[in-house]
A and B are shown apart, each in its own frame.
Chain A
Amino acid sequence: MKTLRIAVPLVLATAMAVLLLLGRYRLDYDMLVLGFPLALGGFAIVMAAIAIVVEWRAPAGGPEKKGMFDEAEELLDKPQAWAQFAWLAGGIALCLGLGFAIGPALLVAAYLRAYRQSWLFSAMAGVLTGGTVWLIFGLALQTPLPMLPPFLR
C-alpha cells in the first residue's frame, strides 16, 4: 500500500510534466497557450512532491489522518473490486456492441445470476431493465440512444 501511495502521485505528476514538455518542445505552443497549464502543472508537481515526501516518511501500515470526504474501505487489495471493473467493462462492451436495450438486459441478467440470484429473477430483471430503458429513452423521450445492435440499425 505504501508503494501505491508513492506511485500514484509520482505517476500523475510525471504524466503532467511529460505533457508540458511535449507542449513546449514538440507541439510548439506559445506562452499564451501553455502559460496556464504550465502554472497549474508546476504547482501540482510541487504538491505531489510534498505528498510523496510525507508518504515516504510515514510508517508503513501506520494509521493515516482521514480526509474530509473520502473514507477509505481498503478495496484496492480485494480482487473482487477489480472484478467489478471487469463487469463494468463488460457492460460497456455489451451496450456499445448490442445496443442499449439488449446490452443492459444481458448485463443485469448475467450479473445477478453470477451472484447467485435465481434464473427466473435474473432473467425477469434483465428483460425489465432493457424494456424500461427502451420505453423511457427510446419511445417516450426519443433520445438518439442506439437501441439496436449496429448490424440491425
Chain B
Amino acid sequence: MLESIAQGLASFGQPLALLYMVLGVLIGSLVGLLPGLNGLTAIALMLPFIHGMDPAIGLAFLLAMHAVVNTAGSLTSILLGIPGEPTTAAVMIDGYPMAQQGRAGEAIGAAVAASALGGLFGAGVLLLLLPVLAPVVLYFKSPDTLMLALFGVALIAILSKGNMAKGLFAGALGMFLAVFGYQDTTGVPRFWFDFDYMLEGFQLIPITLGLFAVPEIVSLGTTGRSIAVPQADRVGIGQVLFGVRVALRRWALVLRSSVVGVVAGIMPGVGGAAAQWIAYASAAQTEKNKAQFGKGAVEGVIAPEAAGNSKEGGALVPTLAFGVPGSSAMAILIGAFFLFGLTPGPDFLKDHMPIAVHLTVTLAVANVLAAILTIAIGAQLTGITRLPGHVLAPFLMVTLLVGTYATANDPMDVLLLIPFGILGLLLKELNYSRPALLLGFVLAPLVETYLHISLQAHGWAFLLRPIPLAAMAGITLVIFTTARRRAA
C-alpha cells in the first residue's frame, strides 16, 4: 500500500500532470461561473480531449475540473441570486441576503473556505477508505438510502418556519412536482398526457431558476435598486479573508456538513443537491442563531458548501470500488476509465492503486487551488452587486435564458421559466417556503424509488436495520424539537 501511495504521489508530481490539473481547475471554475453548465457538462465536453493522454493525467484533469465547479458556482449564487450550479441553490438562501447587506465578500470567503475544507475532508476520507472500500460500500443498503432521504424530508419542517402548514404544503407540492414522468421502479410514465417533454418530468434547472432567480430579477427590475444596500462598503480582499476566518472558526459545522456530504456521496443516487439541502437544514436546526437563517446567516453558506464539495470524495468511493457511479458526473468519468481501457472495481484497486491515489490527491489539491483562484477574483466580482437594478436586470435575464437552455438544449425548459417564475413570486410574496419546495422536489424520487426497492427486498423488516432505526430516532428528534420550539 505504501509503495502504491509513493507511486501515486510521484505520478501526481509530474509537471505535465500538474499543468493539466491547473488547466482543469481553470476550466471548471469558468464552467461553475456560468449558470446552466455544470460539472457533468464540463466532463462531457472535455472527454474527447483526453484521448492519447496518460490515463492518470487524463482522469485527474477531468476530476479536477469537476471537483471545483461547485466552488466557483457559489459565486453567482451569492452575488446574483442565480445558482451557478443546480447544486449551489442552497448556498443562495443565505449568501444572496448577505450580498444584499453588503457582506458579499464575507459570504464568498466563507463559501470558498468551506468548499476547500469540505473537499479536503472528502479526499481524506477517500484516501483512508481506499484499502477497505468494498466492505464500507457494501454495508449501505437501499433502506439506509431511503432513511437518509426521509431524514431530509423531515427537515422540511425546519425549513418551513413561520406558518408550519404553509411550509409543509410547499414541501408536499415540491414532492408532487417530482412525480411527473417515468416512475423508476415500474417504468410507467405518470401524468405525461402524450407530451414528450413530460416523459422525463419537470427538470431541476427551470424549477430552481424559476422559483429563485426570476423573482429576484423581477424585484431588481421593478424597484431599480442595486443588490447591495447603497451604504454598503466596497468589498476588498480583506472582507473575503474575514469570511475565510469565519469559516475556519466554525470548524465543527464544516466537519458535520462534510460528513453529510461524504455519506450522501457514498450512497449512489443521492446527489449533490440533496446533500447540500440536508446539510443546510441540519445547520438551521442545530446552530445557535437559527432566527438569522434565510436572512444572511454565514452558517447557511458554510454548511451546504462544505457538504457539496466533500460529496465528491464520497462519490468516488463506489465509483472506484465497484464501478457504480456515485453521481451522474461519475458515470461519465467511468466512461473515461473505459476510454483508457481501465475498468473501475475491486480489480482496478488491486492493479492500479497508484492511479486511485493520484486521483485522490488531485481532488484535494484542486480544491485548494480553486479556493485561491476564487478568493482572487471574488472581491472584484462583488462590484456587480452595486449596479442599479435596471442596468443589471437584462444581463441577468440573458444569463438565465442562456443557462437554462444550455443545460439540456430544450426550449421547453426556457418556456417553463415563466410559470415557475410566477409561482416563485407568488410563494415569496405569500410567505410560502421556496427552499422547502425545492428540498421536497429533490428528495421525492429518492424516497419513492428506495421505498419500493426496500419493500420488495426486505418487506417492512427493513425498518429494523441499525441505520433505519438510528434515522427514525433522528427524524423523531427533529420533529419533536421543531414542534417544541414553535410551541415556545
Contacts and interface: CB of A to CB of B under 8 A. Distances in A.
A107 B294 CA distance: 32
Contacts of B448: 36
B163 interface: yes
A145 B397 CA distance: 16
A6 to B, nearest CB: 10
A133 interface: yes
A92 B398 contact: no
Interface size, B (range): 35 or more
Nearest to A90: B397
Nearest to A142: B45
B419 to A, nearest CB: 10
Nearest to A16: B176
A19 B191 contact: yes
Interface in B388-428: 390-391, 393-395, 397-398, 400-402, 405-406, 409, 411, 414-415, 417-418, 421-422, 425-428
A19 B397 CA distance: 32
A104 B401 contact: yes
A135 interface: no
Interface in A19-38: 19, 22-23, 27, 29, 32-34, 36-37
Contacts of A9: 166, 169
B250 interface: no
- Residue among B293, B402, B417, B428 with most chain A CB within 10 A: B402
Contacts, number: 210
A95 B401 contact: yes
A88 B417 contact: yes
A92 B391 contact: no
A124 interface: no
Interface stretch (B103-111, B239-247, B340-348, B432-440): B432-440
Given A75-B425, A88-B214, A137 B402 contact: yes
Contacts of A137: 34, 402, 406
Interface in A56-114: 64-76, 78, 80-81, 83-85, 87-89, 91-92, 95-96, 100, 103-104, 107-108, 111-112
Contacts of A73: 219, 223, 428-429
Given A5-B430, A44-B169, A67-B432, A108 B222 contact: no
Interface size, A (range): 35 or more
Given A8-B430, A40-B179, A104 B402 contact: yes
Interface string B15-40: 00000000000000001001001000
Contacts of B101: none
- Residue among B165, B186, B293 with most chain A CB within 10 A: B165
Interface of A: 4-5, 8-9, 12, 16, 19, 22-23, 27, 29, 32-34, 36-37, 40-41, 43-44, 47-48, 50-51, 54, 64-76, 78, 80-81, 83-85, 87-89, 91-92, 95-96, 100, 103-104, 107-108, 111-112, 115, 117, 125, 129, 133, 136-137, 141-145
The 9 closest A-B pairs by CB, nearest first: A69-B294, A44-B172, A68-B161, A67-B162, A111-B394, A47-B169, A50-B165, A67-B431, A115-B390
Given A33-B188, A65-B162, 20 more contacts: A8-B430, A37-B191, A40-B179, A47-B172, A48-B169, A50-B165, A51-B165, A54-B166, A68-B162, A69-B435, A72-B431, A80-B222, A84-B393, A85-B418, A92-B415, A96-B414, A100-B402, A108-B398, A117-B391, A145-B405
Interface of B: 31, 34, 37, 41, 45, 93, 159-163, 165-169, 172-173, 175-176, 179, 183, 185-186, 188, 190-191, 214-215, 217-219, 221-224, 284, 293-295, 390-391, 393-395, 397-398, 400-402, 405-406, 409, 411, 414-415, 417-418, 421-422, 425-435, 444, 447-448, 451-452
